[in-house]
Structure 1
Amino acid sequence: MRLYWFMAFGVLFAYFMYCPLPDGIAEPMTLRVVFATRQIAKLVGIGPVLFGFTDRINFTRLALSFQGRLFSSDEPSVTFHDEIFDGVRVHVYQPVEKSNEPIAGMVYIHGGGWVFGSVDSYHHQTNYMAARLGIVLVSIDYRCAPEHPFPVPLQDVVKATVWFLQHAKDYNVDPHRIALVGVSAGGNLAAATANLLTLQEEYKQMSLPKVKFQGLIYPCLQSLNFLTPSYQQNKNFFILNQHMMAEFWSLYLTGSLTYVAAMKVNNHTSPPVKKDQRHIMHHDVIPTEFKQRDYTPPNDSDFGDVEISAHLESYILNPSFAPLMASTVEGLPPAYIVTAEFDVLRDDGIFYAKKLEDANVPVTWKHYKSGWHGMLTLFTGPLTCAVCKQSMDELLQFSRDNL
């Protein structure tokens, strides 16, 4: 019987290995393995979901947690344990070898569309980074949508970050050498947190140490426009596509999928909102070289559901929800922004880099022409690839140089 199961798995895996990929993408064979594995996981989940033992979201969370444990490895130079920072669960990674002098710290915010991911599923990244940098790294296990939509995830991140800044010396950390790094949805939360801590009066009055830099790794920063060049070009890419991002934003906002259909065609914003905000994401900001494939210039903005827009615009234009919408970014911490060519979120990072530069905020922008969303995950292990390792190595080097 086991032989038959093994043969069936092999046949399915071989079938799913066919996956159309865009020209120029790095390591297509690696991505085909990822695609096949993901498709088989979906098939495995059909039964439990149909029979009511779980739902799609919780099954995916379980699968990601298993994947995280599968790729995890112990780093002998690092210890880690759970703590509670102002009511928020965190993983704290510390060097085994104690230093006589205060060392640097990092707050790490995992990705997963505000829906998936956890400190456990990202342990292989955070453990590795803490060991290579020799720092105290705090990975925040913020509560996720749809059970906890906006602003709960952001509130958790802000509370834990503030607590660490205030108690850094208890961990032998120099409070003026703490970075804030977020991946994907975590990049959104990192940018929003940096904005709040720097510009909101409540936190200014607390006289907190300023974050040393904000690391935004292929961040999602706006829900106003789902037809940017990068959304057009990568709208069907299986790693992260237009439909998935519309689902994530809708779940983060409302805890439901109510607005997915409207978001995908930009019908969720009214003509006045589109016109008022057009300057923030004007396609001319995107370099011409990024608009060579599968791109159609916008021809008009005179459309949109006024009723839906009236309900959503206070969120969509809120910089705590969508950091690109901030009216001012002057004085924010220096930024390290990573974008990938084959990623619907590529232009979010480009728009934000330009916005920060215009406000004289130091920006280091790293773009990976053959990279894709999530590439940092495969920096090591059996499916590692050159661009994945490069993106991790360069993030680590920037952190060493700037902490």
Structure 2
Amino acid sequence: MAVVYTLLVLFLAVFVAGFILLVMGAINFDISNSEIPPGVNQPAKLRIVHIYLISSAVVGKILENIGICSQISFVRYMQGWKTLGVDPKLFIKDLEFEKVPVRIYQPKVPSPSQRKGVMFFHGGGWVFGSLETHENLCRAIARESESVVVSVGYRLAPEHKYPAAYEDCLNATIHFMKNIEHYGVDPARIIVCGDSAGGNLAAAVSQTLAGRSDLPRLRAQILIYPGLQALDFNLPSYQQNQGVPLLFRERVAFYMLQYLNGDVLHMQEVLTGSHIPPDVKLNYRKWVSPDNIPEKFKARGYKPHVLLDCTPEVYETMKRFCEPNLCPLLAEDAIVHQLPESFILTCEYDVLRDDGLLYKKRLEDNGVRVTWYHLEDGFHGIISLFDYCGLSFPAGKRGLDNIMNFLKSL
């Protein structure tokens, strides 16, 4: 018995020591590699969230190295482990639309008329995220706007490369549109919505459906700090916010490459801009250019980037970055001018800020009505933290309130 007790104490001591080392290592990594600008309110909270994410990644890597599970699988599990109970204000049901898992949220309160329908595509860089990770957000949208919300559990990279996620979101949306009568939704008030990678998917789905005469026309699209292009990772916001949690510049390239090819072999070329030939970039310069970013957004610093040559071999593996279904900012004007009323949320301290600003300009130049809300003290991922274990931020609540106000106005 004494031996068992001794072994137990030893095990606990090793576990505690390992945990302390893990946390200290995560803190050191956070302080050494990240930068939280003075404009971010409650920076300590942001560091706590970031340290938790780093710790999960480190533990996942250890488990991968000893053959228990992959790092990606562990991080996915840690992000979505929390399950919520019954919501007294909502009917919640898991279904499949065209073999795509979806979760439907329907308000219990009676409605005198047909409700709005919101197709929601979660963020996570096409690699992470699930129906569970955005459960709180989808519940809030359904409750506050009294809408029917359909959250889409699309296939993830690198197991399922582009265009798998896009196709799942598109097919689920079309299925919903064709069966709208079963959910008490007004066919004239269907909205696509997504955050980060989900904003990319919402924009791509909206463009694809813009010319369809056999389906209801989308009422609106809501794009929450979307990633919309992969031609230029040296725009002002990418330079200014390259080390700001929760999304580093290098991680954007990592996620894009995982979604495109399932590997990161050409990460350096993407970051330096030598993954797309200069002549191809020049073709899109009217849309993807720092010249289209208002000067006030360059005040925190910007160094113009020189166009670099690209080898044919690299371009062969990267050329699909020019497809609008992957990078919606590159769609032709003939498509863009058909898009529905739009809401775009951007954050000052977000590498993807300029993607949203460039798309805002494209939409407005093509006569699309845009409601733009900019969080001066916001960072990437802040909306998803609105109800995250006491680690919410006032800016995130303001952003979510503005999204709700826009939804209610439709």
Both structures adopt the same fold (TM-score exceeding 0.5):
yes
Helix, strand or coil at the partner of 2:179: helix
Q: Please tell me whether residue 30 in structure 1 is matched to residue 35 in structure 2.
A: no
Equivalent residue number for residue 227 of structure 1: 234
Equivalent residue number for residue 117 of structure 2: 105
Counterpart of 1:303 in structure 2: which amino acid? D
Helix, strand or coil at the partner of 1:361: coil
Kept after mapping to 2: 8 A contact 1:75/1:131: no
Partner Cα separation in structure 2 for residue 350 and residue 85 of structure 1: 33
Equivalent residue number for residue 177 of structure 2: 165
1:121-160 map, 5 Å? 121-160=133-172
Counterpart of 1:32 in structure 2: which amino acid? R
1:249-260 map, 5 Å? 249-260=256-267
**Aligned in 2, Cα 1:161/1:37: closer, same or farther, shift over 3 Å?**
same
Helix, strand or coil at the partner of 1:132: helix
Kept after mapping to 1: 8 A contact 2:50/2:245: yes
Partner Cα separation in structure 2 for residue 336 and residue 186 of structure 1: 14
TM-aligned CA deviation for residue 36 of structure 1: 2.1
Q: Please tell me whether residue 114 in structure 1 is matched to residue 122 in structure 2.
A: no
Structure 1 spans left out of the alignment, 5+ residues: none
Kept after mapping to 2: 8 A contact 1:86/1:160: yes
Equivalent residue number for residue 328 of structure 2: 323
Equivalent residue number for residue 391 of structure 1: 399
Equivalent residue number for residue 78 of structure 2: 63
TM-aligned CA deviation for residue 145 of structure 1: 1.0
Q: Please tell me whether residue 243 in structure 1 is matched to residue 250 in structure 2.
A: yes
Counterpart of 1:287 in structure 2: which amino acid? P
Structure 2 spans left out of the alignment, 5+ residues: 1-8
1:208-219 map, 5 Å? 208-219=215-226
TM-aligned CA deviation for residue 13 of structure 1: 4.2
Q: Please tell me whether residue 84 in structure 1 is matched to residue 84 in structure 2.
A: no
Counterpart of 1:21 in structure 2: which amino acid? I
Q: Number of aligned pairs?
A: 392
Q: Please tell me whether residue 303 in structure 1 is matched to residue 309 in structure 2.
A: yes
Deviations for 1:265-303, whole angstroms, at most 9, x for unmatched residues?
1110112112222221221211111112242023x3252
Partner Cα separation in structure 2 for residue 279 and residue 62 of structure 1: 42
**Aligned in 2, Cα 1:240/1:149: closer, same or farther, shift over 3 Å?**
same
**Aligned in 2, Cα 1:6/1:129: closer, same or farther, shift over 3 Å?**
farther
State the TM-score, normalized to the length of structure 2.
Answer: 0.91
Partner Cα separation in structure 2 for residue 82 and residue 401 of structure 1: 28
State the TM-score, normalized to the length of structure 1.
Answer: 0.92
Partner Cα separation in structure 1 for residue 321 and residue 59 of structure 2: 36
Partner Cα separation in structure 1 for residue 167 and residue 25 of structure 2: 44
Deviations for 1:127-182, whole angstroms, at most 9, x for unmatched residues?
12111222211000111111111111111111110111111111111111111101
**Fraction of identical pairs, as percent:** 35
CA RMSD of aligned residues (A): 1.9
Q: Please tell me whether residue 348 in structure 1 is matched to residue 355 in structure 2.
A: yes
Moved more, 303-312 or 253-262: 303-312
Partner Cα separation in structure 1 for residue 122 and residue 331 of structure 2: 22
